[in-house]
Copies of this chain bind each other. A is one copy, B any other.
Amino acid sequence: MYQFRNDYSVGCHPIVLEALSKANTEHVVGYGADKYCKDCADLIRSLCNAPKADVQFMVGGTQANLTAIAAFLRPWESVLSPFSGHINGHEAGAVEATGHKIIPVHTPVNGKLSPALLLPVLEECKDEHLTKPRLVYISDATETGGVYTKAELTELSLFCRHHGLLLFLDGARLGCALSSQANDLTLPDIAALTDAFYIGGTKNGAMFGEALVIMNQALQTDFFRIKKQRGAVLAKGWLLGLQFQALLKDNLYFKIARHAVETAQYLQGGLKNLGIPMMVESPTNQIFPIVPNTLLPQLDKLCTYEVWGKADEDHTVVRFVTSFATPLESVERFLKTLKDIS
């Protein structure tokens, strides 16, 4: 079976496993107060060119999203999110469970927000009988694989600051976004342009873990307390610092991501050569081919993947995802097999 189900369906990168194994018998203080977490936070601050950033490690993305949003907002404030945003459609009401309304904003299929899309929503929310929009949630890469350019993120950032909005970037797939050919952003750019963002580990080589970087100093206060309150403090907290150290040292994190992107791009190109169109042209590690329904039984035997939705009566959008664990040769063989089939 060729494996394209997702980028979190296999354990961690061997170098991460080695780091975990090596430190396994060491006695370390708990709850993230250890030297691995401290050193790794320093490393992240350095990589982001953000000496005053607060770095908070958490286990998963929903946890990072809900804890950050709950920490940043006052009770009457709401979140502006792309309709396709992970917090809107895949987290079982996690943000609402913290008391905050999400106002979904329709976007193009690439899932990207822009000032032009946000402005009319802001206008409608001036009425005091409504919640006050206060935080703009975006993802880079988006749920459909899109990436923000530096011009786009800068424009969005300026818009947010002008309108008193916080800009929060879900970076569950930040590695792949920054490794895409469509990208011209750097970690320091992202740090400079957002109020907070996270560097996703789970989907890019870690066993688990997300590194939340809080740039806006007004949002840093007491973050540990709310993290504890939401069950988001790992007892053996050093496991997070340890993994991110292994990933960020020697640029492993971006090497992994580049490999995932290149593999997906190769797959996307190959499928298009076979006459299979895409729902959206994705520059990252998730691609969205539109396949004839008649092909699905064969695909089921050949590989793992996810059904994304119906394209029309006779066609289905599927999602293929690659990761550090996707050998380029297996993509080549998969394409060849597919060619033989069709």
- Write the residues of chain A forming the contact surface with B, with a CB cutoff of 8 angstroms: 1, 3, 5-6, 8-12, 14, 17, 20-21, 23-31, 59-67, 70-71, 74-76, 78, 89-94, 96-102, 128-132, 202-203, 207-208, 222, 224-226, 228-236, 239, 304, 325
Q: Could you say which of A17, A23, A61 has the most chain B C-beta atoms within 10 Å of its C-beta? A: A17
The answer to whether A63 and B229 have CB atoms under 8 Å apart is no
Q: Find out whether the CB atom of A231 lies under 8 angstroms from the CB atom of B231.
A: yes
Query: What are the residues of chain B within 8 A of A304 when measuring CB–CB?
Result: 27
The residues of B that contact A12 with a CB separation of less than 8 Å are 24
From the candidates B60, B67, B91, B130, name the one contacting A234 in the complex (CB within 8 A).
B60
Residues of B close to A9: CB separation below 8 A: 27-30, 236
Please give the count of copies of this chain that the complex contains. 4
**Inter-subunit contact A75/B70 (CB<8 Å):** yes
Query: What are 20 contact pairs spanning A and B, CB under 8 A?
Result: A5-B27, A5-B29, A11-B236, A27-B325, A62-B233, A75-B229, A76-B225, A91-B229, A92-B129, A92-B225, A92-B226, A93-B100, A97-B229, A101-B102, A132-B222, A202-B235, A203-B235, A208-B236, A230-B230, A230-B231
Interfacial chain B residues near A74, Cβ < 8 Å: 71, 74, 222, 226
Q: Is the CB of B25 within 8 A of A11?
A: yes
**Chain A interface helix/strand/loop/mixed:** loop
Q: Shortest CB–CB separation between residue A128 and chain B, in angstroms?
A: 5
Report the minimum CB–CB distance from A91 to chain B (whole Å): 7
Within 8 Å by CB of A60, from B25, B66, B93, B235, lies: B235
Q: Could you tell me if A131 and B20 are in contact, using CB atoms closer than 8 angstroms?
A: no
Q: A93, B97: Cβ atoms under 8 Å? A: no
Min CB–CB distance A80 → chain B (angstroms): 13
Partner of A21, one of B17, B61, B229: B17
List of B residues within 8 angstroms of A239 by Cβ:
11, 207-208
A11 nearest in chain B by CB position: B24
Bound-state CA distance A208–B10 (Å) is 18
Q: Which residues of B contact A236 (CB under 8 A)?
A: 8-9, 11, 202, 207-208
Within the complex, what minimum Cβ distance (angstroms) separates A246 from chain B? 14
The list of the 4 closest CB pairs from A to B, nearest first, reads A63-B231, A11-B24, A76-B225, A92-B228
- Distance in Å: Cβ of A5 to nearest Cβ of chain B: 7
Contact A101 B96 (CB under 8 A): yes
The CA of A299 and the CA of B20, in the complex, are separated in Å by 30
Nearest-Cβ distance from residue A204 to partner chain B, whole angstroms: 12
Query: What's the Cα separation between A98 and B230 when bound, in Å?
Result: 9
The chain B residue sitting closest to A2, CB to CB, is B27
Contacts of A59 in B (CB 8 A): 59, 234
Q: In the bound complex, do residue A229 and residue B92 qualify as a contact, i.e. CB atoms below 8 Å apart?
A: yes
User: Which of the residues B14, B90, B235 comes within 8 Å of A8, measured between beta carbons?
Assistant: B235
Smallest beta-carbon distance A136→chain B, Å: 17
Q: Chain B residues near A78: list those with CB within 8 A.
A: 93, 96
**CB-based contact A100/B96 at 8 Å:** yes
For residue A17, which residues in chain B have a CB less than 8 angstroms away from its CB? 20-21, 24
